[in-house]
Amino acid sequence: MGNILVADDDKNCRDSIQKVLEREGHTVQAAGNVDSALEALAMHHFDLVVCDYRMPGKTGIDLLLKLKHTQASVPVLVVSAYADANIENAMLQLGAVELMKKPIRRKELIDRTARAVGG
């Protein structure tokens, strides 16, 4: 099982993702914004980051740009209610492994997480 960071400013969504992943046996840490996520990434090793695209202040793109230069090997699964084809392409070009549209289906989250962490 993996050590996963969930970064989403929507507490309900963040808590929901965390609960689903913990029930699957993963260890999950949560962050409410990009800066908190970057702090967690500086202090801990993660096998996967699940990140919302649109958050106040900085976006998932900011997180991907930082990871590209510091921890390029950490897979990032981006979730968004607002993503269009241009945003999806930009996220994938910056290194996101996949983009999931909100609302997130439980089975889809479990399957994509398993693929990303190799479980």
Question: In terms of pTM, does the model score above 0.85?
Answer: yes
CA dist list (Å): 119 to 12, 26, 45, 47, 76:
26, 10, 17, 11, 15
HEC sequence for 25-44: CCEEEEECCHHHHHHHHHHC
Residue 119: band (very low, low, confident or very high) from pLDDT cuts 50, 70, 90 = low
Least confident range from 33-37, 41-45, 94-98, 106-110: namely: 94-98
Residues present in the chain in total: 119
Tens digits of residue pLDDT in 16-53: 999 999 999 999 999 999 999 999 999 999 999 999 99
Residue 77: band (very low, low, confident or very high) from pLDDT cuts 50, 70, 90 = very high
User: What are the sequence ranges of the domains in the chain?
Assistant: 3-117
The CATH number assigned to the domain with range 3-117 reads 3.40.50.2300
Give which of 13, 42, 46 is closest to 29, Cα–Cα: 46
Which residues 6+ apart lie within 8 Å of 41 measured at CB? 5, 49, 67, 70, 71, 74
